[in-house]
Amino acid sequence: MSNYILPLMVLGIVLYGIFKKVDMYDVFIDGSKEGFKMAFTIFPNLLAMIVSVNILIDSGFLEFVINLLLPVLKVPIEVISLAIMRPISGNATLALLNTIYTKYGVDSFYGLLSSTIQGCTDTTFYVIALYYGSIGIKNTRYALKTSLLADFVGITASLMICYFLFS
Partner 1 sequence: MKINETILNSTKISLELLLQIFPVVALWLGIASIASASGLLEKLANALTKVLGPLFPDIPKGHVSLSYIASNIIANVFGLGSAATPFGLKAMSSLQELNEDKKTASRSMITFTTINTSGVTIIPTTIIALRILYGSKNPTATVLATILATSLSTLSGLFFDYLYRRKHE
**Which residues 99-118 are close enough to bind partner 1 by CB under 8 A?**
101-102, 106-107, 111-112, 115-118
Near partner 1 in 51-90, by CB under 8 A: 51, 53-55, 57-59, 87
Query: CA–CA separation, 37 vs 42, rounded Å?
Result: 9
Provide the minimum distance between the beta carbon of 107 and partner 1 in the complex, in angstroms, as a whole number.
6
Query: CA–CA separation, 133 vs 127, rounded Å?
Result: 9
Size of the site for partner 1 (CB under 8 A): 89
Closer by beta carbon to partner 1, 2 or else 71: 2
Figure out which of the listed residues 75, 78, 141, 167 binds partner 1, where binding follows CB under 8 A: 141
Closer by beta carbon to partner 1, 7 or else 71: 7
Check: CB of residue 117 under 8 Å from CB of residue 106: no
Query: CA–CA separation, 123 vs 61, rounded Å?
Result: 19
Range in contact with partner 1 (rule: CB under 8 A) among 64-72, 77-85, 157-165: 157-165
Closest of 64, 59, 88, 94 to residue 77, by C-alpha: 64
Query: CA–CA separation, 133 vs 4, rounded Å?
Result: 33
